[in-house]
Amino acid sequence: MVEKLIIEIEQEMINLLDNMQMEELHKVLLKKFQGLVFSDEANNKNLENEKIDYCIMFICAKRVEGCSEKSIKYYKSTISNVLKVLDKPVKHITTEDLRGYLAEYYKKSNCTKVSIDNIRRILSTFFSWLEDENYILKSPVRRIHKIKTGKIVKEIYTDENLEVMRDNCKEIRDLAIIDLLNSTGMRVGELVKLNIADIDFNERECIVEGKGDKQRKVYFDAKTKIHLQNYIKSREDNNKALFVSLIQPHNRLNISGVEIRMRNLGKKLNINKVHPHKFRRTLATRAIDKGMPIEQVQHLLGHQKIDTTLQYAMVNQNNVKISHRKYIG
């Protein structure tokens, strides 16, 4: 209890004292409080409210910064679960507490190291924000380093996969979706937001709204143009959305609708892991293999960091071999 009280006093004084003064204050508090015993009753009071308040303030800050509701939901559930399990004031959470939580979570949930590192990353963001806002003296996540994860080679669609999917689309809408995803590399969330008016058929381009409400231009090929035009002409509804459901009242197609459609098509054709995001990875890999500068691929996909683009694309080993002979000998 004494240690916790000292931490709270230091937190209150952090904005008034420099590092040397804080060190002297720490020594004085240790000396004066030595041997004293306090009741835990005051410390436990409003513990639950404190945990909720910090979490709510952080979520509000993230919402103001423009985080998507999906990300905010992930932040909130992860942080709330940690605070519930640790069951102690936020200011008293230590590095050892968080290491223990991550180790126990990994053991019990049987999840991947990638998932554990995602939790670590969210906790780092949360406690760094608390530190920046002067709610805590120092983030306890600072000494918890990035968790090493094995590199998994993710699949892309082969040319044969794409042609088989195209040939087996019974609905012209699905054919247009496959071609648009394949030629632009847009996210499925960007696809379902598109309206007919957003498509510039003359320039074969459209503006999509990506993460953080950022807009960018994407481009499609002649084949996609023809299939899109054929699909729009076949429509009998007045919905402004580019893609709508097949049954009345023909509402705007949502993300899950596209994912389910792609997954069912993959099962029918015995193609492994057919989902919208795989088109995005396929485009990045194909573009880099054909010599497109990585910076342009980054812009095309709407990535903020080039490292993300590099994670998407797999470099063809044959191209590495040819480049070695060309540049090295």
pLDDT in tens, 264-298: 999 999 999 999 999 999 998 888 888 888 889 88
Least confident of 13-27, 64-78, 252-266: 13-27
User: DSSP letters of 171-230?
Assistant: SHHHHHHHHHHHHH---HHHHHH-BGGGEETTTTEEEEE-GGG-EEEEE--HHHHHHHHH
In the chain, the percentage of residues whose pLDDT exceeds 70 is: 88
Of 280, 281, 324, 327, the active-site residue reads 280
Of 63, 252, 277, 299, the active-site residue reads 277
Give dist(CA 138, CA 17) in Å, integer: 15
Active site annotation includes 187: yes
User: DSSP letters of 251-312?
Assistant: PBP-HHHHHHHHHHHHHHHT-SS--HHHHHHHHHHHHHHTT--HHHHHHHHT-SSHHHHHHH
316 band by pLDDT with thresholds 50, 70 and 90: low
Active site annotation includes 312: yes
Write down the pLDDT at residue 329. 62
Positive/negative CA dihedral, 294, 297, 298, 303: negative
Of 62, 120, 187, 281, the active-site residue reads 187
Write down the pLDDT at residue 88. 87
Write down the pLDDT at residue 214. 82
Average pLDDT over residues 168-188: 95
Of 62, 227, 281, 303, the active-site residue reads 303
Burial of 320 (0-12, 13-18, 19+ CB in 10 A): exposed
Write down the pLDDT at residue 41. 46
230 band by pLDDT with thresholds 50, 70 and 90: very high
Write down the pLDDT at residue 317. 63
Write down the pLDDT at residue 101. 95
Average pLDDT over residues 145-173: 87
Of 99, 211, 217, 263, the active-site residue reads 211
Matching residue, tokens 């049987």: 110
Write down the pLDDT at residue 174. 96
Position 80 pLDDT exceeds 90: yes
Most confident of 22-31, 150-159, 164-173, 205-214: 164-173
Residues linked to residue 241 through DSSP beta bridges, in sequence order? 195
**Pairing state between β 199-200 and 205-209:** antiparallel
Active site annotation includes 280: yes
Give dist(CA 161, CA 148) in Å, integer: 33
Q: Which residue has better confidence, 19 or 206?
A: 206
Write down the pLDDT at residue 17. 77
| Domains of the chain, earliest start first | 2-132 (no CATH), 159-324 (1.10.443.10)
Position 217 pLDDT exceeds 80: yes
Q: Which residue has better confidence, 84 or 319?
A: 84
Write down the pLDDT at residue 42. 47
pLDDT, tens digit (0-9, with 9 covering 90-100), for 16-41: 777 778 778 888 888 877 766 555 54
Average pLDDT over residues 46-74: 81
Amino acid at 197: A
Least confident of 64-73, 116-125, 182-191, 254-263: 64-73
163 band by pLDDT with thresholds 50, 70 and 90: very high
Most confident of 16-25, 64-73, 124-133: 124-133
Active site annotation includes 101: no
Indicate the average pLDDT of the chain. Answer: 86
Give dist(CA 31, CA 43) in Å, integer: 21
Reply yes or no: is the peptide bond before residue 249 cis, omega within 30 of 0: yes
